[in-house]
Structure 1
Amino acid sequence: MPVDPWAIDGLNFSGLETRTVEAMHVMADGTSLGVRSGVRPGDPGLTVTLAGSAISCSAGVAAVGYAGQGVYKAAFPTATAVGNYTAAHATLNRLDLVYLRIWDTTVDAAGFSKADIVYLAGTAAASPVAPTPSGTQIYMPLATISVLSVSNGSGASVSTTVRPVTVAPGGILPSATAPTNPFVGQYYDSGSGLLRWNGSVWRQISPYAPITSAQASQPSSFTAGPYTDFPTANWTPLTFTVPPSGLVWISIGGALQNINSTSSTGWLAWRASGGVTEASSEANGVSTLGSRNYSTRRVLRSWTPGASVTLTPQYLFSSVGTLSSVTRATDGLLTVEPVAAP
């Protein structure tokens, strides 16, 4: 079936034709002709605030998608006085909704052709949830208002976490949650890194900054025997979260000396605790034998993504002599380098 291409002189375009073509310039939602609704990243517009019980929404612009209707674009050049929220329930809390509504009578048969900001009170409950606009409504959520019961003080607070953000096709979407129905090569910024969809999983692709813990000083004395934690005041443990790849490079190094005898040994190593457990050993430490040594050991670990791990620096001396001149462990540095998956 032939259609009217945008834009050729002499053709008349309906609102639906225009909105459908405009969808070309807004991020897709994974459906044919569909778009992702939202405000622009970094735009403070359409922010809902409270002054007492009065609800206001700042000036701003938004794109609102609706299945089969393309994209509606709405601009509010000045702040909007939305109204007052409903009085608190005596004993139960409530969660209300503020949303941007597009009134298109050709779709909703409401008799209007306009855009406005709407307040919808929720239902007071032991575990309240935000209400959903009923019927055929073209809308985009802007905020929820948490209204405490009278018994809980009748306070109210606004959260804008429900307000979506959208970008142009191919743009990097800042979002706490991954976009649905992604395409191969799509990127989004989770707030802690840049991720790319490879067709099956999201892969972290932005570089990570190394995390370090430098030794501040030696203990007042060393104890001969098994691996021993450095006191926190001398060398602070390092805590980090395993990246989505599950891979981390871990390095430990420093200046080691033990000349108490020709067979005396000294070690610097780390132990892992928390989401992962690993003891200090030859596999993750550096050593000296009857002399002094300046070195670093770097190892790769594959651990559970998202696990919180604490690395604690340790020492081991087979025997000890005078601090620093005979037995020494100084200038230590413990480093974690998270690895971005390909």
Structure 2
Amino acid sequence: MTVRAAWLLPGGSGPGQTREDTRLAPLGTFAPAAELTTRPGVIPGGTPFAATNAGAMALQIGVGRAVVQGTTAQGAYPVAITAPEVINFPDGDALNPRIDSIVLRVYDGLYDVSGQTVAVVERLQGAPAALPQAPTVPAACLRLWDVTVPAGASAGVGGIDWGTALTDRRQYTAGVGGIIPPGGGLAFDGTYHGQLRDTGTQIERWNADAQAWQRYPAIPARPVSTNQAADPPLNVFGQWVDFTAAAWPRITFTVPSSGQVIITIGGQVSNRSTSTSTAWMTWRATGAYTEGHGPNNGVSAQANRVIASRRVHRSGLPVGGQVTLIPGWNVSSNSGSDVYVRDGQLTVEFVP
């Protein structure tokens, strides 16, 4: 069958519901790993599958719940430990240490050669070596802990130092749409756009386009500023004129995910040529967003000197677009000694 459902009566005119149907149907769906598979892991709550000292060569695994993914055909098995289980360790190798893994394992005779239908807590023994590696985990098996067994370890010589031997390998899972808790390392990709995980220090969101985890919400970039380096010639009257890039460098920025920025321009402007003479310091935008020089984004003076700044908010910009800001100037006349546009600073702040 290729279409499977839960909550059907067994038997009848059709095959009814099988245990396989129950595992494959989205019944209490956890974080997906692919179209028909589930991210295996421990279900958070309390301290599931805690490891505690049960003797010189014995380890106790506490209660907890988990989802164990088999092959794609098998589906995922919900598993619970309802009473602590004790795992015994054989003596260490005479020459080299080894790493054993404590796993939660499902045996299903329909898919393996075990002839069993049972879930167990099990020890997988690693190979002794100068630089030992943890054993490979088979299908339908969830690694919980790695245990380093020193060379020569035995109950007669003190056993395993449980304070240093344990490495926590419990990875966690969550309901679909939930935030996957930290644990088990961060070396895994997301499976759908917008999936969230907790790294232990921050929340990250899976960007399927970039195939990468990204901090969520994204940290807005720090403000970007550029300073006027030289006075303009002021040889054109009544027109908006761009500063040269040498006289005042431009700013090019990427529009943040909010589509919003705050732009500030400030400095000194003066024009005392006549009682109606004006001087302006402005900016214009080009690229993914355009805006011209003008009164909506400039600082001005009329028949006087002004030291000021102008701060404006712009929203609805195309997210991810490249925008360049170009400073500019405008004087209505230049017949006096007190005419200038100088000491400018242009700043872009990114709204999160």
Asked if TM exceeds 0.5, the reply is yes
Kindly provide the amino acid, as one letter, of the partner of residue 196 in structure 1: R
Aligned to 1:217: none
Q: Is the 8 A contact 1:178 1:188 kept in 2?
A: no
* Shift, 1:8, TM fit: 4.2
* Shift, 1:6, TM fit: 3.0
What SS does the aligned partner of 1:106 have?
coil
What SS does the aligned partner of 2:42 have?
coil
Pick the aligned partner of 1:139 from 131, 141, 146: 141
* Shift, 1:100, TM fit: 0.9
Kindly provide the amino acid, as one letter, of the partner of residue 122 in structure 2: V
Aligned to 2:204: 195
Aligned to 1:35: 38
What SS does the aligned partner of 1:17 have?
helix
Deviation string, structure 1 residues 19-66 (Cα, Å, up to 9, x no partner): 00146611111x221011111124412223332111221112111011
Q: Is the 8 A contact 2:40 2:172 kept in 1?
A: yes
Pick the aligned partner of 1:166 from 167, 173, 184: 173
Aligned to 1:21: 25
Q: Equivalences for 1:80-229 in 2 at 5 Å?
A: 80-82=85-87, 84-133=88-137, 137-150=139-152, 155-157=160-162, 158-175=165-182, 176-177=185-186, 179-199=188-208, 200=210, 201-206=212-217
What SS does the aligned partner of 1:177 have?
coil
Deviation string, structure 1 residues 149-193 (Cα, Å, up to 9, x no partner): 249986443435322111010110123415424311111111111
* Shift, 1:9, TM fit: 5.2
Aligned to 1:5: 5
Pick the aligned partner of 1:77 from 69, 79, 82: 82
Counterpart CA distance in 2 for 1:55 and 1:341 is: 52
**Identical columns (%):** 27
* Shift, 1:14, TM fit: 0.7
Counterpart CA distance in 2 for 1:180 and 1:105 is: 31
* Shift, 1:7, TM fit: 2.8
Counterpart CA distance in 2 for 1:72 and 1:341 is: 45
Pick the aligned partner of 1:56 from 50, 53, 60: 60
Q: Is the 8 A contact 1:146 1:156 kept in 2?
A: no
* Shift, 1:98, TM fit: 0.9
What SS does the aligned partner of 1:192 have?
coil
Kindly provide the amino acid, as one letter, of the partner of residue 168 in structure 2: T
What SS does the aligned partner of 1:196 have?
strand
Counterpart CA distance in 1 for 2:187 and 2:68 is: 19
Counterpart CA distance in 1 for 2:130 and 2:29 is: 43
Give TM-score scaled by structure 2 length: 0.54
Q: Is the 8 A contact 1:59 1:76 kept in 2?
A: yes
Q: Is the 8 A contact 1:47 1:160 kept in 2?
A: no
Counterpart CA distance in 1 for 2:4 and 2:127 is: 47
What SS does the aligned partner of 1:19 have?
helix
Counterpart CA distance in 1 for 2:133 and 2:18 is: 39
Counterpart CA distance in 1 for 2:103 and 2:2 is: 37
* Shift, 1:119, TM fit: 1.0
RMSD of aligned C-alpha atoms?
Answer: 3.1
Q: Is the 8 A contact 2:100 2:149 kept in 1?
A: yes
Larger radius of gyration: 2
Deviation string, structure 1 residues 106-161 (Cα, Å, up to 9, x no partner): 11131111111111221111110011246xx4211111101122499864434353
Counterpart CA distance in 1 for 2:27 and 2:62 is: 25
